[in-house]
């Protein structure tokens, strides 16, 4: 709880300055270059691609199609986030496609997360075997197009977003929610640890 409270205060503070910067920018948003538009992202997603908080996802090197769909869904409100919704709402489709392309071309950062111990990895692989995560996320969990890369994503973020799919708090992909509901919470914990360490 403490961590969550701290995080929401942290985001609140950062978001306040981001929104202020967007509102008072001398250059109108439409006239900003791509570099201007992505400037604000690094306040949370990191200057060097390493997110500033463990519950913020890594977006550097993520699949472009997937990044675009998330920005679109944040703007539509299909994926709810008090933080990302106002940010994505400032963009039109062309901006989102260019931003998605821009981040997908950056190198995936090494978050330095440990490999899962053998028993945890075994549990995760067994869960994958019965649900078939790799059928969509591909053999090395590298993703493709609109399916996200999971390998090396932040562990706390993975755990949080899988829990959000499960409760449908993240409701933008009902199919993923059904799969997460069909997976036990112990298996999901093992998967988060395993995927983070890949």
Q: Note the residues at the interface with ligand HEC (CB under 6 A).
A: 11, 14-15, 18, 38, 40-41, 43-45, 56-57, 59, 66-67, 69-71, 81, 83-84, 87, 99, 127-128, 131-133, 135-137, 146-148, 150, 153, 158, 161-162, 172-173, 175-176, 179, 183, 191
Smallest separation (angstroms) from ligand HEC to the CB of 111: 13
Query: Smaller CB distance to ligand HEC: residue 20 or 117?
Result: 20
- Minimum Å gap between C-beta 157 and ligand HEC is 7
Torsional sign, CA 186, 189, 193, 196: positive
By beta-carbon proximity to ligand HEC, the closer residue of 117 and 132 is 132
Q: What are phi and psi of 79, to 5 degrees?
A: -110, 115
Nearer of residues 111 and 150 to ligand HEC, judged by Cβ: 150
> Under 8 Å CB-to-CB from 91, ≥6 apart: which residues?
37, 71, 75, 99
What is the token pair recorded at 17?
A: 């300055």
Report, in Å, the least distance between residue 116 CB and ligand HEC.
Answer: 13
The distance of closest approach from Cβ of residue 163 to ligand HEC in the complex, given in angstroms and rounded to an integer, is 10
Strand partners, 170: 79
- C-alpha distances in Å from residue 72, one per residue of 35, 60, 64, 97: 20, 18, 12, 9
DSSP 145: T
Give dist(CA 194, CA 96) in Å, integer: 31
- In the complex, the smallest distance separating the C-beta of residue 192 from ligand HEC, rounded to whole angstroms, is 8
């Amino acid at each position: 709880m403490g961590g969550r409270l701290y995080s929401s205060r942290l985001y609140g503070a950062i978001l306040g300055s981001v929104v202020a910067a967007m509102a008072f920018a001398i250059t109108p948003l439409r006239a900003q270059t791509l570099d201007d538009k992505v400037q604000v992202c690094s306040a949370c997603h990191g200057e060097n691609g390493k997110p500033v908080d463990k519950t913020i996802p890594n977006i550097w090197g993520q699949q472009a199609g997937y990044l675009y769909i998330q920005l679109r869904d944040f703007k539509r409100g299909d994926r709810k986030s008090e933080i990302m919704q106002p940010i994505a709402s400032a963009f039109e489709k062309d901006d989102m496609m260019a931003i998605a392309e821009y981040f997908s071309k950056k190198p995936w950062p090494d978050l330095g997360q440990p490999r899962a111990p053998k028993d945890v990895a075994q549990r995760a692989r067994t869960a994958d075997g019965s649900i078939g995560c790799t059928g969509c996320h591909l053999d090395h969990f590298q993703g493709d197009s609109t399916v996200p890369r999971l390998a090396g994503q932040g562990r706390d973020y993975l755990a949080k977003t899988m829990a959000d799919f499960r409760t449908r708090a993240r409701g933008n992909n009902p199919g993923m929610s059904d799969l997460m509901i069909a997976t036990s919470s112990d298996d999901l914990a093992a998967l988060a640890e395993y995927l983070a360490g890949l």
